[in-house]
Chains A and B, each alone.
Chain A
Amino acid sequence: MRRKISLLVIVVLAAAAAIIDYGCSRNGNLDDIDRDDSVSFDLNDPKIKERLGEDDGYAFAILYGADIHGSLETCG
């Protein structure tokens, strides 16, 4: 009986691990995201969608800026 319970626990844990792994691999490319990369606003908000533009199949993206001159925030 004890062996059966142990086996059941192992099966449940394995299944849980598989589900978690599936969830991650579906998102993929984990090396490119941070643990706190969650978004707290609605990505389907029309204004946000307009800013994001269409996902037209690009393979990778370079986001860039410059000239912040020591300021992590801007005035006003």
Chain B
Amino acid sequence: MGGLARRVSYIKAFKHRSNIEVPTLLVDAGNLFTDDRYAADQLPAEVMTKNKWVVKGYGDFRHDAANISYVDLPYIAELLKKDGYSKRVEEYPFIERLVSANIQPMDDQHRAPVPYVVREITLKRGAAGEKLRVGIVGFSESKPAAIAGNSKQDVYAGFRINDPYESAKKILPELKKKSDFIIALAYMDVSSAQRLATENPDIDTIIGARQSNTMDEPQHFNRATIVYAYNQTKYLGELRIYVKGDRSIENQLNRYVALDSIIPDDQVATDLVTAAHTEFTNQQSETAQASSATTKPAALLEPAESPYIGEETCAGCHQKEAQIWDKTRHAHAMATLQKKNEQFDNECVRCHVVGYQRGGFQSLYTTPQFANVQCEECHGPGRQHASNPGKGYGFMATPVGCMQCHKEPNDPDFNFAVYWPKIKH
């Protein structure tokens, strides 16, 4: 579900359905860039590539604004470098639609992001012929602590994340003078968004985000309607605004649109995504090959270092179960990724291998023996059990355990009663 190609397709259909007489704004509430493996003030080259294509894609497909969240800061630090900024904006004009009212650089080598953008639309319904200025402002919460119990990080990637409530009180009176309708993009939890609305009566709409996998009803505080974006935009949020003849807002209705296979991929967007994918995959492959020369494969690790033993070792004692497993799709999970050239995309790989980021699979070059969804992915690391076989190992809570990967956005058709017989052993 989801993806730019379906999103673009839906947006085009949405515009055409109303004969292109309804102005449509397209926004992102944050976490559009990845900060994967950010270390020593640098993002790996392939991660930079991935993010670069997001800037291009969002620009090409006319996003009106995107909020800068704390997750975005490592790449934002690249985009907002004063050195070469004009040239960068010339190539990717969307950079100037990345907004934040509470994030500031800590040095003078970077520009501050714009706090807001204002888009003017011409109404054809309600107050037909009237123009409406829509201000879009961004806020982010601080970076959550890496270790539970520690305080949040107000500083990340060379930027300071100021208090969003204080920043809102400073910037909103200024924006109010320039806008008739204010949208706040807020990367924060629901209670924080509620506080933002309560303390700032000028906000008309808050579009929040925080990797939400639920689709709650909109909430209303002061005049603001609060809605939340769905994680990874697998469902596209659609907020319809109804305007009276005097330009006042009559109502706001929210719905979520499943971006599933019913929505065809847009060809132009597909071409862009394919180009992005190819460049990213080639770069990832080069990096993985290079690191295989310096990284010690898990197979060579001392037993104490890797808790996993791999399917072949399990099969030494559990032959019958191994034969059944070999005929399941779990046994060929990596091949399904390879068919789509996604074998280097960590977001996908984690559900197609055993022990990803837990001492098992690292990459196809260094740990090919841990590719595919093997015994230990469900039953747990088996090294200790193999050295001292006995009962007590291997319990798995179903269907909860399955739903670590077979969750609704990844596998909307998942039904334990139907799926279990396919792998029963």
Which chain A residues have a beta carbon within 8 Å of chain B's beta carbons? 26-29, 31-34, 36-41, 43, 47-48, 51-53, 55-76
Is the CB–CB distance between A67 and B125 below 8 Å? Answer: no
Q: List 30 A-B contacts (CB under 8 A).
A: A28-B20, A29-B121, A32-B15, A32-B20, A32-B23, A32-B24, A34-B62, A39-B13, A40-B264, A43-B13, A47-B262, A52-B14, A52-B17, A58-B240, A58-B241, A60-B25, A61-B14, A62-B205, A63-B237, A64-B26, A66-B29, A66-B32, A66-B209, A66-B231, A67-B210, A70-B34, A72-B276, A72-B277, A73-B273, A74-B409
Which chain B residues have a beta carbon within 8 Å of chain A's beta carbons? 1-5, 7, 9-34, 36, 47, 50-51, 53-54, 57, 61-62, 67, 71, 121-127, 132, 183, 187, 205, 207, 209-212, 227, 229-234, 236-243, 253, 255, 257-258, 262-264, 266-268, 272-273, 276-277, 336-337, 342, 345, 347-348, 351, 409-411
- Assembled-state Cα–Cα distance A57/B266 (Å): 26
Is the CB–CB distance between A68 and B16 below 8 Å? Answer: no
- Residue A55 contacts which of B10, B17, B263 (CB distance < 8 angstroms)? B17
Closest 6 CB pairs of A and B: A65-B233, A70-B34, A66-B209, A75-B348, A66-B229, A58-B240
**Minimum C-beta distance from B260 to chain A (A):** 9
Q: Which residues of A contact B409 (CB under 8 A)?
A: 74
Q: A61-B14, A61-B240 are in contact. Are A71 and B22 (CB under 8 A)?
A: no
**Minimum C-beta distance from A62 to chain B (A):** 4
Q: Which residues of B contact A56 (CB under 8 A)?
A: 240
Residue with the greatest number of chain B CB neighbours at <10 A, chosen from A39, A47, A71: A71
Q: Which residues of A contact B13 (CB under 8 A)?
A: 39, 41, 43, 48, 51-52
**Minimum C-beta distance from A66 to chain B (A):** 3
Q: Which residue of A lies closest to B241 (CB)?
A: A60
Q: Which residue of B lies closest to A31 (CB)?
A: B122
Q: Which residues of B contact A69 (CB under 8 A)?
A: 31-34, 71, 232, 347
Q: Which residues of B contact A64 (CB under 8 A)?
A: 26-29, 207, 227, 229, 236-239
- Residue A60 contacts which of B24, B234, B236, B347 (CB distance < 8 angstroms)? B24
Q: Which secondary structure characterizes the binding site on chain A? A: loop
- Assembled-state Cα–Cα distance A65/B57 (Å): 14
Residue with the greatest number of chain B CB neighbours at <10 A, chosen from A32, A74, A75: A75
Q: Which residue of A lies closest to B130 (CB)?
A: A59
**Minimum C-beta distance from B43 to chain A (A):** 10
Q: Which residues of A contact B26 (CB under 8 A)?
A: 62-64
Q: Which residues of A contact B268 (CB under 8 A)?
A: 36
Is the CB–CB distance between B21 and A27 below 8 Å? Answer: yes
Q: A34-B62, A59-B242, A60-B123 are in contact. Are A70 and B32 (CB under 8 A)?
A: yes
Is the CB–CB distance between A75 and B51 below 8 Å? Answer: no
Q: A48-B13, A64-B239 are in contact. Are A29 and B54 (CB under 8 A)?
A: no
Q: Which residues of B contact A71 (CB under 8 A)?
A: 34, 50, 232, 345, 347
**Minimum C-beta distance from A42 to chain B (A):** 10
Is the CB–CB distance between A60 and B132 below 8 Å? Answer: yes
**Minimum C-beta distance from A6 to chain B (A):** 37
- Assembled-state Cα–Cα distance A55/B13 (Å): 12
- Assembled-state Cα–Cα distance A47/B253 (Å): 21
**Minimum C-beta distance from B12 to chain A (A):** 5
Q: Which residue of B lies closest to A27 (CB)?
A: B20
Q: Which residue of A lies closest to B26 (CB)?
A: A63
- Residue A58 contacts which of B16, B22, B36, B236 (CB distance < 8 angstroms)? B22
Is the CB–CB distance between B126 and A59 below 8 Å? Answer: yes
Is the CB–CB distance between B28 and A66 below 8 Å? Answer: yes
Q: A70-B32, A70-B34, A72-B272 are in contact. Are A61 and B22 (CB under 8 A)?
A: yes
Is the CB–CB distance between A74 and B124 below 8 Å? Answer: no
Q: Which residues of A contact B212 (CB under 8 A)?
A: 67
Q: Which residues of A contact B410 (CB under 8 A)?
A: 75-76
Residue with the greatest number of chain A CB neighbours at <10 A, chosen from B30, B127, B264: B264
- Residue B211 contacts which of A31, A58, A63, A67 (CB distance < 8 angstroms)? A67
**Minimum C-beta distance from A37 to chain B (A):** 5
Q: Which residues of A contact B19 (CB under 8 A)?
A: 26-28
Is the CB–CB distance between A72 and B53 below 8 Å? Answer: yes
Q: Which residues of B contact A72 (CB under 8 A)?
A: 3-4, 53-54, 57, 272-273, 276-277
- Assembled-state Cα–Cα distance A47/B262 (Å): 7
- Residue A65 contacts which of B22, B62, B122, B230 (CB distance < 8 angstroms)? B230
